[in-house]
Structure 1
Amino acid sequence: MRARFRLIVTIRPKYAYKDPAAILQAPAPEHIVEAGLPTEALLAQVAVSKYADGLPLYRQEAIYVRDGVELGRSLMAQWMGAVAFHFEPLAAHVLARIREGERILTCH
């Protein structure tokens, strides 16, 4: 079965009160890219394709265009910067655990 893109719409109703005069709305769900469209699943797909599968962003861009989705490589590059920012603490932790090891293999 082929993967498909889907649009996820989050409806946040607004409630208006007369006394006291106020308008309340549920907060928007948090995302890695603030006020952005990509879900965590799309960001994971782009990151895994880029780093694990070795698929450059310009090739991913062409794949998405074939599916009728226009995602420019500069936009995806910005997304990867946001993902890297959020993964920095994890990378630091992994590096610290590696350095605790008895031996560290380095490649020249």
Structure 2
Amino acid sequence: MSRSWNRMQVVFMALAVMSLTTVANAAAPAKPKGLGDPGALTSLKVEPNLADKGITMRGRDARQQLYVTGVYSSGQLRDFTHKVKYSVAPAGGSESRRDRAGDAFN
């Protein structure tokens, strides 16, 4: 009786382990697919750029927050606001400020 009882315990334990493994695999979250390869960068959009006339600021205390978006061949959009280098024309007309979050120009 002791041997058959031991065999039943082994079979029961094996079934329990298999059941727990199945439940654990079913409960595991699916790995997200992600966006995939964006392809080649095709353009940069600087916003706000009303009527495609560029950005004009007048006055010593004028400020404008800018957003730069990269457009890829796959149609994906990525934020380039902090990756691009800003410049001002004419030189000396204003100054670019990178030391304050949210201010591109001062």
TM class by smaller structure:
under 0.3
Structure 1 or 2, whichever has the larger Rg, is: 2
Which structure has more strand as a fraction of its residues? Answer: 2
Report the TM-score when normalising by structure 1.
Answer: 0.25
TM-score by length of 2: 0.25
Q: Hey, which of these two has a bigger chunk of helix by percent?
A: 1
